């Protein structure tokens, strides 16, 4: 009975962390040096990601009845969990980038916005730009036409307005004279009238 009482707060903590999570990624951290682990935790913390090591049984209890229950097959061996409530792609991105320099970090799988992915799927999600990057690209594409328009208007103002940009009267093409040639009359085919009955 005492063991269950000790485990309950841990399960509740995991449940609270995943309650509003947009994504959860599981990793095997075996083989990381203390320095690498410290660096990884710092990067995750700066990205607003919760990263903790829990026992697999505790995570299994917490995941039951949620979208994250799909992670049960990956709960073997030492597991750490990265949880994000803000940016769905950030745990995958930070972990995959870190795994490039620390080959011992193994991504097991994850759930992103309710869909379960294996390690390959998480690697693909890691390629998706962050929400902030997407917003800045969108803002850039919106601002580009406005900036170009402002530049043209500024150039017009510097040259003395739109009237200064018009071609001089001498250089305009001569007006085309109207011809009074007779237009051929259209001949209509005779319409046969049918006698009224």
Residue pair 61/71 in contact by the 8 Å Cβ criterion: no
Instruction: Check whether residue 135 and residue 113 sit in a common domain.
Output: no
The model carries a pTM of: 0.64
- Within a domain: residue 32? yes
Collapsed DSSP state (helix, strand, coil) of residue 107: strand
Question: If pLDDT is split at 50, 70 and 90, which confidence band does 7 have?
Answer: confident
Question: If pLDDT is split at 50, 70 and 90, which confidence band does 13 have?
Answer: very high
Instruction: Check whether residue 82 and residue 153 sit in a common domain.
Output: no
CATH code of the domain containing 25 = 3.30.70.1730
pLDDT digits (tens, 9 = 90+) for 34-69: 999 999 999 999 999 999 999 999 999 999 999 899
Domain with 134, as residue range(s), is 130-157
- Within a domain: residue 57? yes
Report d(CA 95, CA 122) in Å as an integer. Answer: 9
Overall domain count for the chain:
2
Classify 193 in phi/psi space as left (phi over 0), alpha (psi -120 to 50) or beta.
beta
- Within a domain: residue 190? no
User: If you ran DSSP here, which 8-state letter would residue 18 be given?
Assistant: H
Q: CA-CA distances (angstroms) from residue 15 to 8, 59, 67, 73?
A: 10, 8, 12, 18
More confident residue, 58 or 196: 58
Report residue 54 as tokens: 């829990």
Predicted local confidence at residue 174, as pLDDT: 53
Instruction: Check whether residue 57 and residue 38 sit in a common domain.
Output: yes
- With DSSP H G I counted as helix, E B as strand and the rest as coil, what are the percentages for the chain, rounded to 5? 50, 15, 35
Whether pLDDT at 90 is above 50? yes
- Within a domain: residue 141? yes
Identify the bridge partners of residue 107 per DSSP, sorted by sequence position: 27
b vs e for 159-182, b when ≥16 Cβ sit within 10 Å of the residue's Cβ?
Answer: eeeeeeeeeeeeeeeeeeeeeeee
pLDDT digits (tens, 9 = 90+) for 99-148: 999 989 999 999 999 999 999 999 998 887 766 666 676 776 676 677 77
Instruction: Check whether residue 107 and residue 135 sit in a common domain.
Output: no
For the chain, what percent of residues have pLDDT higher than 70?
72
Instruction: Check whether residue 70 and residue 46 sit in a common domain.
Output: yes
Place of tokens 């841990």: 10
Instruction: Provide mean pLDDT across the span 81-95.
Output: 93
Residue pair 21/66 in contact by the 8 Å Cβ criterion: no
Predicted local confidence at residue 1, as pLDDT: 46
More confident residue, 7 or 74: 74
- Within a domain: residue 94? yes
Residue pair 117/70 in contact by the 8 Å Cβ criterion: no
Residue pair 62/18 in contact by the 8 Å Cβ criterion: yes
């Amino acid at each position: 009975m005492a063991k269950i009482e000790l485990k309950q707060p841990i399960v509740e903590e995991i449940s609270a962390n995943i309650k509003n999570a947009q994504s959860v990624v599981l990793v095997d951290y075996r083989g990381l040096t203390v320095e690498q682990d410290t660096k990884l935790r710092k990067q995750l913390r700066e990205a607003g990601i919760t990263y903790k090591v829990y026992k697999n049984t505790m995570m299994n209890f917490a995941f039951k009845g949620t979208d994250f229950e799909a992670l049960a097959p990956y709960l073997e061996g030492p597991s750490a969990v990265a949880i994000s409530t803000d940016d769905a792609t950030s745990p995958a991105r930070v972990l995959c980038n870190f795994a490039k320099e620390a080959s011992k970090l193994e991504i097991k799988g994850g759930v992103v916005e309710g869909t379960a992915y294996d390690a390959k799927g998480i690697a693909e999600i890691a390629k998706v730009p962050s929400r902030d990057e997407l917003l800045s690209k969108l803002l850039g594409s919106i601002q580009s036409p406005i900036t170009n328009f402002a530049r043209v208007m500024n150039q017009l103002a510097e040259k003395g307005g739109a009237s200064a940009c018009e071609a001089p009267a001498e250089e305009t093409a001569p007006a085309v004279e109207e011809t009074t040639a007779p237009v051929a009359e259209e001949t209509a085919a005779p319409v046969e009238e049918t006698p009224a009955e």
